[in-house]
Structure 1
């Protein structure tokens, strides 16, 4: 049974700083993980105060910060810069940073990029896809770099996919996605983001794995949830709002209140509901 963490100021002061092994502990203990994206120290500091567990410096910054139409133009230097900014605002949350497009094309390139991100303050790097990325995951983990995998809708594959679409709709693609999830876990990933995946499939993958799953448009049965900061606050990023997005600012009354409302709803299981999920 999932439990909700206390959010009063004293409890937040006493909570421990997150480490990578604590992610598996959370899944074992039935505690839903709360993740948000951040790109600067101010928002990161507010997320920390609101009790957010994991903060992601996503290559989503290409779309919501830089104004691009996709994440493809984002460079490693961009992620390094924003990771260093966010790291200065955190004392409790675990910091994850994206490996941007083609920075993980080979294990050696991935090692260089991941090293720069960890030196900037990240505790883990995120890699999209499986296939040849399995060798990259193994290569990094063997060299003491924790990895978060990312399956389902992988935004760096937007050209091949032909847009931002739900993945795993039919038996063939669902079985492949389930097999890929097992493979990234076996390769050494300690966390898995599932994006735009039907609720039932995401639940089956979550049950398959010993590592936690983090959903975004993947229904309520994942071990945690992530949203893009701008989506959570209802900021117009110039792109179509997906079904799984919810504006928590109106609910929370302030930025920190929005973060707390989101965290409470994730931990209680109130978010996402059917209106923010895919059948």
Structure 2
């Protein structure tokens, strides 16, 4: 059974098992993660991970909805949360509500997530009051990468640390049921966890958080380039994929692939072109050709002598022949005693390879 918002909220505190969260963007991956995760986040990081964009700012509503729907359909257990992309909620609380409700209605997801601290509290409250569950996101906010001057850890000085704590309190008070805390000093993460009553999900924060989240491609070792300090690779799938492709290329070039196990053979030439007496079909083999050339032909059609044909001067009786009758042709030895298949010519003309 799928996790609910109350289920997630109940996981607050040291006495509860930490929430397991990962990003997911596609149906096959979501299906694999679903059994082990409490939350699947369709993050705006999809723009970078799947589309090769330089930042999350290139994600848009259509992109988030498309991937959100895919993850929602493929999962049965985890709560699905969809990021609100940059520009979809900053303009006004009213436009934020329109976009948030569109995301939920078109994806079937349970919640949206948006970035921002105290400055977004009013918008969060507006959404929650109108039935839109909101997960907050404070600390390092990727959508603010330009104003932050890059992806830099936050809360490492007293002023920054105090702001993060105040942001957490404001977002929680506005009604967020959970908060993602990204890229902050470990001590500050502990202070944030203690400052709010909703679960705090860390990414590059602290083991003291109520849950953890990572970008799935980072965790699986699928991303190239420099990794963030907080990323732990649990697999090296990029190496496995490269080796698999290398082997495939070698097999193709040496004609080892495809082998006989991977190709289709011909159908049995003695098999009928089409089944007879199949349910709902006419038994066309019931009609047979004449057995020999000595069989008596059909009698010719009689003349119709009293056909009346109208003319300009009146009517006159004329005689005209009826339609000529079909007479049996002598059967060749190969055709003798062979059932007539009226569809054989059509099938021969339209014959195509067997479907996959």
Classify the TM-score, shorter chain: 0.7 to 0.9
Which whole-Å deviations, capped at 9, do the CAs of 1:41-61 have from their partners, x for residues lacking one?
111111113x21100000001
Match of 2:84 among 75, 84, 99: 99
Match of 1:64 among 49, 58, 77: 49
**Pair 1:143-2:133 in alignment:** no
**Pair 1:116-2:86 in alignment:** no
The two structures have a TM-score, normalised by structure 2, of 0.64
Which whole-Å deviations, capped at 9, do the CAs of 1:91-144 have from their partners, x for residues lacking one?
110000000101111111211211121111210110101233111100100001
- d(CA) in 2 for partners of 1:27 and 1:181? 15
Which whole-Å deviations, capped at 9, do the CAs of 1:66-87 have from their partners, x for residues lacking one?
1011111110110000000001
Q: 1:155 to 1:249 in 2, by over 3 A?
A: same
**Following superposition of structure 1 onto structure 2, how do residues 46-85 of structure 1 map, counting pairs within 5 Å?**
46-49=32-35, 51-85=36-70
CA contact (8 A) 1:148 1:190 kept: yes
Which whole-Å deviations, capped at 9, do the CAs of 1:199-222 have from their partners, x for residues lacking one?
110011101111000000002110
Higher relative contact order (CA 8 A, sep 6+): 1
Which ranges in structure 1 are unaligned for 5 or more consecutive residues? Answer: 1-15, 255-279
Whichever of the two has the greater Rg, that structure is: 2
Match of 2:3 among 13, 18, 24: 18
Structure 2 partner of 1:246? 232
- What CA RMSD, in Å, does the superposition of the two structures yield over aligned residues? 1.5
- With 67-76 and 108-117 compared, the bigger mean Cα shift is at 108-117
The structure 1 segments of at least 4 consecutive aligned residues displaced by more than 4 Å after TM superposition are none
Structure 1 partner of 2:176? 189
Q: SS at 1:21's partner residue? A: helix
Q: SS at 1:179's partner residue? A: helix
Q: 1:160 to 1:90 in 2, by over 3 A?
A: same
Structure 1 partner of 2:29? 43
Which ranges in structure 2 are unaligned for 5 or more consecutive residues? Answer: 241-356
Which structure shows the bigger proportion of residues in helix conformation?
A: 1
The two structures have a TM-score, normalised by structure 1, of 0.81
Query: How far apart are residue 239 of structure 1 and its match?
Result: 4.7
- d(CA) in 2 for partners of 1:219 and 1:191? 16
